[in-house]
Structure 1
Amino acid sequence: MARVDALLAARPGTTRPDGVREWDLGVGSIEVLPLRDGKQVVGAELRVPLVDGEDLIREALTEAAGLAHKAQLRLFDPQLGEVLTGSATERVVEQYLRTEHYRRTAKPMELTPGLEEAMDRAERVDMGLPAERMSLGSRAVLFAVAGFAILFFVMRFLMAQLRGE
């Protein structure tokens, strides 16, 4: 990440207080942030906003490939699951356009029951905030199911003993 930061410092953009670097590419800007595996930084993540058109993704791919070459790193696309080469550009653009089309045509998240709450809980976990406790009713149902399961297995064992198995 240090090599990437050093190369990005010479390019137009700003660094936000949260450590995310906004890289200005002329046709738009993308976010560059450390990619972590646990506490270890294993790479840099490039986030390209979904916009209608392919100019930004093409520019991002061109600039990122040049940056990766100068830093002697590999450019990897997790959606394709491969290291990007010049021939992969069109497949990346096609995937980007499919995702952008889905963003425009999919139902808003508010119409999907429970999704907003699930996303809020996931965000709380990502931020390290304490998770919400399970409601009393949910705990009672879970306790009752567990009790019946234990009772079932105990009765099954005792019946097997009576039959001599």
Structure 2
Amino acid sequence: MTPGTPYEAARVDGHLSEKRVSVRADGNRLWHLQHGDVEVGELREGGQVVATELRIPLSERTDLVREVVSEAALLATQAGARLVDPQLGRSLSANDDGVVVDQYLRTVRYAGEVAGVPEAMGSSYGQDPAGGARGFQPGTKFLFIALGVFIFLYLLVDSMTTSLGGR
């Protein structure tokens, strides 16, 4: 809890063992919550464990994010540790779920639009939370662009053959 003191991963792991946590074949742990699963890992710097990391899958399901903030804040309090969101750059409490959700949704949209992360693609291409589409789907956009390029090339070639006396 005090900055500058060594992180006690064993204390956090002890409290996590009381939760619904399973170990996958690859050694990573999954924390099973009501609204989904969260991957639990270790954050290392210079070979030392400096934090327990919680990774939430990218989607627009904010109920899981809110539950993780609440449960992780409770776990941190029990373990005498701080809950920190590195994207926000600050410590969190259970009441900070709103700001975490806002930042999470920005990350999901960025991941879908810029990085092309498949899990986040639906939220980046104009699907509203109700499931309807607000605009053209990516495949439809590509089709219109390709059609436009072909029409442009046809008109360009036709114009060139006409000006060269080909007709």
Q: Fold conserved (TM > 0.5)?
A: yes
How many residue pairs match? The answer is: 109
* Structure 2 unaligned regions, length at least 5: 1-8, 118-167
- The correspondence for 1:36, drawn from 30, 44, 47, is 44
Residues 23 and 31 of structure 1 are in contact (CA less than 8 Å); yes or no, is this contact kept in structure 2?
yes
Q: Please list the CA deviations of residues 126-148 of structure 1 after superposition, one character each: whole Å capped at 9, or x if unmatched.
A: xxxxxxxxxxxxxxxxxxxxxxx
Which residue is equivalent to 1:54?
62
The amino acid that maps onto 1:90 is G
After TM superposition, the score normalised by the length of structure 2 is 0.60
The amino acid that maps onto 1:80 is L
For the pair 1:97 / 2:105, whether they are aligned, the reply is: yes
Return the alpha-carbon distance in structure 2 between the equivalents of residues 4 and 17 of structure 1.
22
Greater CA drift, 97-106 or 77-86: 97-106
SS in 1 for 2:61: coil
Greater CA drift, 48-57 or 60-69: 48-57
Map residues 64-143 of structure 1 onto 2, 5 A cutoff: 64-106=72-114, 108=116
Which residue is equivalent to 1:137?
none
CA-CA distance at 1:86 after TM superposition: 4.0
Return the alpha-carbon distance in structure 2 between the equivalents of residues 2 and 54 of structure 1.
30
For the pair 1:23 / 2:31, whether they are aligned, the reply is: yes
The amino acid that maps onto 1:53 is R
Residues 50 and 100 of structure 1 are in contact (CA less than 8 Å); yes or no, is this contact kept in structure 2?
yes
Identity of aligned residues (%): 47
* Structure 1 unaligned regions, length at least 5: 110-165
RMSD of equivalent CA atoms: 1.7
Which residue is equivalent to 2:135?
none
The amino acid that maps onto 1:52 is E
The structure showing larger relative contact order (alpha-carbon pairs under 8 Å, at least 6 residues apart) is 2
Evaluate the alpha carbon distance shift between residue 73 and residue 13 of structure 1 in structure 2; reply closer, same or farther with a 3 A threshold.
Answer: same
Return the alpha-carbon distance in structure 2 between the equivalents of residues 50 and 33 of structure 1.
17
SS in 1 for 2:39: strand
- The correspondence for 1:8, drawn from 6, 16, 20, is 16
SS in 2 for 1:11: coil
Return the alpha-carbon distance in structure 2 between the equivalents of residues 33 and 64 of structure 1.
13
Which protein has the bigger helix share? 1
The amino acid that maps onto 1:56 is L
